């Protein structure tokens, strides 16, 4: 992370000298841009299938999440854009995203046997090659917003390792150690890459942009493993696993583009015209695309281990949205004009219920487990918008939200098709909410808006069930979950 940031700072410092070159007649550089910024992996979720399974002799399929260890890593890139008329640009681009470290952990304190503690680590790098298409809005100021799309191919690199708790030769609980197993990653397949975002050009050369992008990645891992069965018998084998990962990422980039010609500006808008486009009540409807719910799950059992501690386990789990993961959304805001271009005001949005599932399937159907989380929320927030001045019928803006989410959750679990009677969710906690997005107003009343939103939810499930020794025990599952959505709204301003 530190090396990547040092490189990013050096690139930014070097870019300050670029206007000196732009003042010469190097017109062949027109359209070339360089950028540097941060790559934040919002989700790395992988469908894993293994045979033999890590914890049994039958094959298994399940979805596993990996959490980033740092908030973001550095990203650098360049594009060469060709002008199509006054507003459109199209051209090739390349981006290098520095190594991101992602981990998945499991730990239980019941018995310090083999596999009672695990940590899987992915070190992921990707280099997408893509075609970008950009639309620039004409404004009356030096700030010129734009929206863009990317479509291309991602070249992926991965190192995978697993740290597993291993027993000492005497096989006594508590006498083992953590052992690093470096896996062989093979059959790596590169994949399609796509992105969508918005940006702002300043003074014709400098720009800042925000981007959401997605890529997938298939690969296989192979490493030695051990399993201790109920009779405390150790089994050693080679673990072969197939992975099908989906990677969601958010970028924030700054850059410099070469341009030897001034961009034409729109005619100024009258004060009356500006006021008529700002403020007032607006209503909106739309859809939300939910990313997988990634949670830290703490499982508690009402018994004591050999060290006199309450028994628990902690692990990272994932629940994928069923089907497309798209649900309806409805909301309203009342905005107040502040200065010429800024609006601020309260808003409320209700996002309808979506179902997420976590399936752990085996070759024996009676062992298959499926968990369901049904989530909906109502967010109360304060919105702030900056509207760009333009004389056309389309007026772009950027928007930020901060507020509080009131959450509703239901939870259920099945094994072999039978309801395990988990009793639903309890003690559901609300949490802070924030969002950032970009929109366009048409003819002063109709608008379209795209927004990324984030909140958290905590809840519990309490029940009585047999433990690993088949003794009925009171148990509790505590979920600490991340909720992320991509929204597309259409609305009307009164």
What pLDDT score was predicted for residue 176?
A: 56
CA diameter of the chain: 85
What pLDDT score was predicted for residue 326?
A: 92
Question: Which pTM does this prediction carry?
Answer: 0.84
Q: Is the pLDDT at 115 greater than 60, yes or no?
A: no
What's the pLDDT tens digit per position in 269-291? Answer: 554 444 445 678 999 999 999 99
Q: How confident is the model at residue 230 (pLDDT cuts 50, 70, 90)?
A: low
Q: How far is residue 103's CA from residue 111's CA, in Å, rounded to a whole number?
A: 23
What's the pLDDT tens digit per position in 292-332? Answer: 999 999 998 888 877 778 888 899 999 999 888 899 999 99
Q: Is the pLDDT at 14 greater than 50, yes or no?
A: no
What pLDDT score was predicted for residue 62?
A: 82
Say which residues have a Cβ less than 8 Å from residue 74's Cβ, sequence separation at least 6: 1, 4, 5, 7, 8, 36, 37, 38, 39, 98
Q: How far is residue 396's CA from residue 199's CA, in Å, rounded to a whole number?
A: 11
Q: Which of 106-110, 142-146, 398-402, 440-444 has the lowest mean pLDDT?
A: 106-110
What pLDDT score was predicted for residue 475?
A: 85
Highest mean pLDDT pick, 262-266, 386-390, 392-396, 437-441: 437-441
* % of the chain with per-residue pLDDT over 70: 82
Q: Is the pLDDT at 40 greater than 80, yes or no?
A: yes
What pLDDT score was predicted for residue 479?
A: 95
Q: How far is residue 377's CA from residue 6's CA, in Å, rounded to a whole number?
A: 41
Say which residues have a Cβ less than 8 Å from residue 369's Cβ, sequence separation at least 6: 359, 360, 413, 414, 415
What pLDDT score was predicted for residue 15?
A: 47
Residue 218 pairs in a beta bridge with: 189, 244
Q: Reduced to 3 states, what is the DSSP secondary structure of residue 274?
A: helix
Say which residues have a Cβ less than 8 Å from residue 169's Cβ, sequence separation at least 6: none
Q: Which of 81-85, 345-349, 380-384, 401-405 has the lowest mean pLDDT?
A: 81-85
Q: Is the pLDDT at 166 greater than 80, yes or no?
A: no
Q: What is the mean pLDDT of residues 216-220?
A: 91
Q: Is the pLDDT at 21 greater than 80, yes or no?
A: no
Q: Which of 23-27, 157-161, 358-362 has the lowest mean pLDDT?
A: 23-27
Q: Is the pLDDT at 429 greater than 80, yes or no?
A: yes
Q: Is the pLDDT at 19 greater than 80, yes or no?
A: no
What pLDDT score was predicted for residue 17?
A: 46
């Amino acid at each position: 992370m530190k090396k990547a940031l040092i490189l990013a700072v050096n690139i930014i410092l070097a870019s300050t000298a670029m206007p000196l070159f732009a003042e010469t007649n190097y017109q062949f550089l027109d359209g070339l841009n360089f950028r540097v910024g941060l790559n934040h992996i919002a989700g790395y979720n992988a469908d894993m299938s293994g045979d033999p399974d890590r914890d049994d002799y039958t094959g298994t399929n399940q979805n596993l999440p990996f959490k980033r260890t740092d908030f973001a890593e550095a990203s650098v890139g360049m594009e060469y854009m060709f002008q199509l008329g006054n507003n459109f640009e199209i051209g090739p681009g390349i981006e290098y995203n520095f190594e991101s470290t992602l981990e998945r952990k499991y730990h239980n304190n019941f018995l310090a046997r083999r596999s009672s503690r695990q940590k899987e680590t992915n070190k992921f790098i990707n280099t997408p090659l893509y075609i970008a298409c950009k639309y620039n809005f004409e404004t009356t100021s030096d700030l010129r917003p734009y929206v863009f799309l990317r479509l291309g191919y991602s070249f992926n690199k991965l190192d995978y390792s697993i740290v597993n708790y291993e027993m000492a030769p005497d096989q006594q609980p508590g006498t083992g150690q953590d052992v690093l197993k470096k896996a062989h990653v093979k059959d790596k397949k590169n994949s399609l890459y796509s992105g969508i975002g918005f940006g702002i050009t300043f003074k014709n050369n400098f720009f800042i942009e925000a981007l959401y992008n997605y890529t997938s990645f298939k690969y296989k891992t192979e490493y030695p493993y051990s399993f201790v069965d109920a009779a405390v018998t150790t089994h050693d084998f080679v673990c072969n696993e197939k992975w099908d990962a989906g990677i969601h990422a958010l970028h924030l980039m700054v850059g410099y583009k070469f341009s030897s010609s001034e961009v034409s500006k729109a005619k100024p808008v009258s004060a009356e015209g500006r006021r008529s486009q700002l403020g007032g009540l607006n209503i909106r409807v739309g859809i939300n695309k939910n990313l997988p719910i990634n949670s830290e799950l703490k499982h508690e059992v009402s018994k004591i281990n050999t060290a006199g501690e309450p028994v628990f386990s902690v692990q990272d789990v994932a629940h994928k949205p069923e089907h497309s993961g798209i649900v309806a959304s409805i909301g309203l805001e009342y905005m107040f004009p502040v200065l010429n271009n800024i609006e601020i005001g309260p808003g409320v949005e209700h996002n309808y219920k979506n179902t997420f599932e976590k399936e752990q399937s085996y070759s024996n159907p009676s062992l298959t487990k499926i968990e369901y989380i049904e989530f909906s929320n109502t967010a109360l927030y304060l919105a702030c918008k900056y509207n760009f001045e333009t004389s056309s019928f389309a007026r772009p803006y950027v928007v930020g939200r901060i507020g509080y989410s009131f959450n509703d959750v239901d939870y259920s679990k099945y094994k072999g098709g039978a309801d395990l009677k988990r009793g639903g969710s309890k003690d559901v906690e609300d949490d802070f909410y924030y969002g950032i997005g970009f929109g366009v107003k048409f003819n002063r009343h109709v608008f379209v808006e795209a927004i990324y939103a984030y909140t958290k939810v905590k809840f519990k499930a309490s029940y009585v069930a047999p433990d690993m020794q088949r003794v009925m025990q009171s148990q509790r599952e505590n979920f600490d979950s991340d909720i992320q959505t991509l929204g597309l709204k259409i609305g009307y301003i009164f």
